[in-house]
Amino acid sequence: MEVVRSQRKSSVPNDAVSTLPLYRSAPPLEVRLEDFEFYAIDRLRVLKGISDGLSRGKKPDEMEKLVYDLWKENMRHPQASEVVNKDIISHFVLRLVYCRTEELRKWFLSMETTLFRHRFLHENPEVQKALFAEFDLPYKAVSRAEYETVKDMLNQVARSIGQSTDAIFYKVPFEEVPELVAGRRVFIKEGNAYIAMSQVVSLVVTQFRSHLSKALVLTNRKWTSRIREQEKDRLTPIIEALSTSYLGPDYSQPTKHTDISLKDIDQIAKSSFPLCMHHLFGKLREDHHLKHGGRMQLGLFLKGMGLKLDDALAFWKAEFSPKVGAERFDKEYAYSIRHSYGKEGKRTDYTPYSCQKIISSTPGVGDHHGCPYRHFSEENLRAALTRMGVGNRAVEDMLDKVRNRHYQLACTLTFEAVHGSSCDAGINHPNQYYNDSRKILESPNNSSNP
């Protein structure tokens, strides 16, 4: 797969590529640089949506609908003939992105395997058989004579999984279908598992996962030995940024909830700030000072809420006044506030920090920025959540997510507990938390409208 800056000149015909590729080798396609990144981002939205669904413990039928909707929404293309190409290109770009560390490989392998499973199940039986044949597996259907010897046991299994008792069965080594064995959904005899045609997905998915796992290791070798250095001025920056990319709105432009008055900010902070900003705001009121990292994280969040520059200067000056005189504030702090609003220096209009950026920060001693779900001790996190009014049972659910490193999901559960309302999209940005909170609290149906 070659990345070019010119218009793509050729494409693979639709009838030459399965609607569900097995991604065994990179296609001989020319890919525009912008497509290289945009296609990968669209697929990443699918994989991250799957990850969120799994973390939230969605049921199989819910996951099936989620995957279908995510794919339909994100993997479209204006040209029908390019849909398959987008699928293949995006997979291989993300394979390059996620081959670089063991943790990245593990996540990508799990999400792509889940995606493949659901897409396989969505295909019709003829396509499933064709894909099964592509793996060239050495398994044959159980003969009639052998079937008669184990018929009673196979019929029991068939009935237990809702399968017709006259189903075709395959005999495979039991270690190749571990999930079916663990779920007691197969009959095992002499080291072989008898699987119905409807269960072939388990066999196919195992083979897909095995192939992709090996391919990721090989891709990593190519990346470290050759690609990273060769593409250091073009593709490498894109590749290294994609795994930590925030894919949602940047909140550089405030939404309709922009009537932010300084006299109301305490009430708004109490009702609509996510824990990270709630903590920073509290520490600012308590200490009348924040270090640079805290000022940037909270300041840009307030900017994204709709706080105007003049009000921001007045807010920070008033908060710092018990420790910092007006002259010192104007000299040491006012410039950086104006700078963050794009009024000084290079006139860069800075955007509020996403959850991904906050989670990946590394607060030092005396710092209060960062993500409480990641950076707080369990004891401190429990106390902070309790102060926000979260009940004991909900706190335990959040701590369980934190132990499994699902920090944004823990924040989502906090939002749901505080507002008594579901947040199916998940929390991905502090300003999203704020906006969604205001929508709920300002709803005509909400009696607690502050």
| Residue 355 labeled ligand binder | yes
Distance CA 411, CA 359 (A): 12
Distance CA 171, CA 141 (A): 7
**Considering only CA atoms, which of 104, 88, 11 is closest in space to residue 43?**
88
Residue reference for tokens 């398959």:
84
DSSP string computed for 214-259 = HHHHHHHHHIIIIIHHHTTTTTHHHHHHHTT---S----S--S---
C-beta of residue 245 within 8 angstroms of C-beta of residue 356: yes
Distance CA 172, CA 271 (A): 58
Coil vs helix vs strand at 155: helix
φ/ψ of 167, rounded to 5, equals -65, 155
C-beta of residue 49 within 8 angstroms of C-beta of residue 63: no
C-beta of residue 423 within 8 angstroms of C-beta of residue 241: no
Coil vs helix vs strand at 169: strand
Distance CA 216, CA 219 (A): 5
Burial class (CB in 10 A: 0-12, 13-18, 19+), 145: exposed
**Considering only CA atoms, which of 346, 384, 254 is closest in space to residue 308?**
254
Task: List, edge to edge, every strand of the sheet that includes 169-173.
Answer: 169-173, 192-196, 187-189
Strands (E) located in 201-357: none
List, in sequence order, every residue forming a beta bridge with 4; answer none if it has no partner: 32
| Residue 99 labeled ligand binder | no
What's the token pair of residue 400?
A: 């369980």
Q: Angle, nearest 10°, between helix axes 407-419 and 33-55? A: 60
C-alpha of 23 from chain center: 22
List, in sequence order, every residue forming a beta bridge with 428; answer none if it has no partner: none
Per DSSP, 20 falls in state: S
Which residues neighbour 114 within 8 Å (Cβ) at sequence distance 6 or greater?
50, 54, 63, 67
Binding residues for [4Fe-4S] cluster: 276, 355, 371, 411
Binding residues: 276, 355, 371, 411
